[in-house]
Amino acid sequence: MPELPEVEVVRRGVARWVVGRTVRSARFLHPRVTRRHVAGPEDAIARTEGLVVADAVRRGKYLWLPLATADGDAADAMVVHLGMSGQLLVEAAKAPAEKHLRAVWEFDDGREDLRFVDQRTFGGVAVVPLVGVGDGGLGGLGEFPDAPWSRFLPAPVAHIARDPLDPAFDDALFARRLREKTTGLKRALLDQTLVSGVGNIYADEALWRAKLHYARPTRSATRAQADALLAGLREVMTAALAAGGTSFDSLYVNVNGASGYFDRSLAVYGQVGRACPRCGSLVRRDAFMNRSSFSCPGCQPVPRTAHW
């Protein structure tokens, strides 16, 4: 699954190429692409066509496009879930259709289309209302923080916590809520109601940077360790953004179809049997939640009590 850096790379591309343009037509080419839009594809089309893409906004792994009238009045938001293989691509209007093309948005200026390509069809699109943010802060990170829609979230995203790169992220609240949980550190990091945007890759990399084992009980985490985890998350996510994200195959690309290259800089994730860049111990792999966890046995010793 794409994590925060990969989604942010896509968001930036959409902001550059699509924001400010008016949707002339929307077409959904596979029934699964609008399965999250309960009223069906025709309703999603009706709530999109003729409106302006006012912004491209993200919270954690969630990406949405606030829509507005020509007069600037806020309407709904188009939420795009990339799933495991979804791609938002900007293509010339007359470019051949991709093999797994699922949706196309054409614009009234006749320039590039926005296309949703999804090989495995786990992603999708829904047009939903915006709801207020309870803490008064920004709903998500977009291009226009003072815009009318900036203090709102799409209803399906309202339960998602802020991410570590959000200026409004509350470090003290994170540390307190982390210690209130009864689980292991990595399981907590994957809980999108505690901190959003973190998946398997960046959880492992942040834990390595903080020199903490993934199964360390959250209740035993000190404030200094919680701060070290956040520092690790911010460091690795910022570096991944600079590299265009992490791409393990051709499915993880930006809006121009280019892959990121942060996978070349991973310290432990996917590096089983290789030397830890810090201490030289061989990276190990453990089964974890039907996936894998990668860690350094030298830098990240197993705690006496562990939540596996």
Do the annotations mark residue 99 as ligand-binding? no
Q: What is the pTM for the complete model shown?
A: 0.87
**Residue 247 predicted with pLDDT over 60:** no
Q: Which domains does the chain have, with CATH numbers?
A: 4-157 (3.20.190.10), 171-295 (1.10.8.50)
Residues with Cβ within 8 Å of 188's Cβ and at least 6 positions away in sequence, in order, are 178, 181, 194, 218
Class of residue 38 by CB neighbours under 10 A (exposed 0-12, middle 13-18, buried 19+): exposed
Dihedral sign from CA coordinates of 81, 79, 91, 144 = negative
State how far the Cα of 81 lies from the Cα of 252, in Å rounded to an integer: 13
Do the annotations mark residue 120 as ligand-binding? yes
| Helical (H) or strand (E) element with 229 | helix 223-242
**Residue 46 predicted with pLDDT over 80:** yes
**Residue 246 predicted with pLDDT over 60:** no
Average of pLDDT values for 240-262? 57
Catalytic residues: 2-3, 61, 291
Average of pLDDT values for 259-275? 80
Q: How many residues does the chain have?
A: 308
- pLDDT for 6-17, tens place per residue? 889 899 999 999
Residue 106 has what pLDDT? Answer: 98
Q: Is there a contact between 36 and 125 (Cβ–Cβ < 8 Å)?
A: yes
Please list the alpha-helical segments (H only) found in the chain. 4-17, 41-46, 171-180, 185-189, 200-210, 223-242
State how far the Cα of 300 lies from the Cα of 209, in Å rounded to an integer: 9
Residue bearing tokens 């949980």: 181
Q: Which of 105-114, 147-156, 297-306 has the highest mean pLDDT?
A: 105-114
State how far the Cα of 233 lies from the Cα of 187, in Å rounded to an integer: 15
Do the annotations mark residue 181 as ligand-binding? yes
Tokens matching residue 87: 């791609």
Average of pLDDT values for 184-203? 95
Using 50, 70 and 90 to split pLDDT, how confident is the model at 242?
confident
